[in-house]
Amino acid sequence: MIAAVLGLDLPLRTYPSGEPIRDAPQLALLGRLRSLLPIVLRWLTEVPLRVPRDRRAWDAVIEGRGWRVPVEAESHLRDVQALSRRIALKQRDDESEVVILLVADTRHNRHVLRLAALDLVAAFPTPGRLALAALSNGERTPGSAIVLL
């Protein structure tokens, strides 16, 4: 309004800032896991839960012959209790027997996982290396696991 009174035009332009993709670290993490899987396994991303009208989705799902394993990827761990609760609810509602929690292998995340180890072992009893070895061989992981990459 003031610019109009003074007879001035106010030109305004916007320019993109920051990363064009907000979840670039998570996509890179998922890409690292995908690169370790054999071609016989199917890789799907942003897979909706098998619940009608539910808007939640798994970050990825790995499918083999007669089985599927959902994947939740976290590039930076924060609230482990909230994360565990969110995964447990998705796992229950989607009726998924096992799930992979894929975590970026950083000093911060390793520290958080060490602090929360006793709380996480019940939900993710299979060692990550064992789960990754099974998937790398085109087989279903024997149980839910935390995989650091």
Q: Tell me which amino acid residue 118 is.
A: L
pLDDT at residue number 44:
97
pLDDT higher than threshold 70 for residue 10: no
> Could you tell me which of 6, 24, 29, 4 has the C-alpha nearest to residue 149?
29
pLDDT confidence tier of residue 23, bands split at 50, 70 and 90: confident
Q: Residue 120's Cα: distance from chain center in Å?
A: 16
pLDDT in tens, 88-143: 999 999 999 999 999 999 999 999 999 999 889 999 999 999 999 999 999 999 99
CA distance 132 to 139: 10
Rounded Cα gap, residues 145 and 62, in angstroms? 14
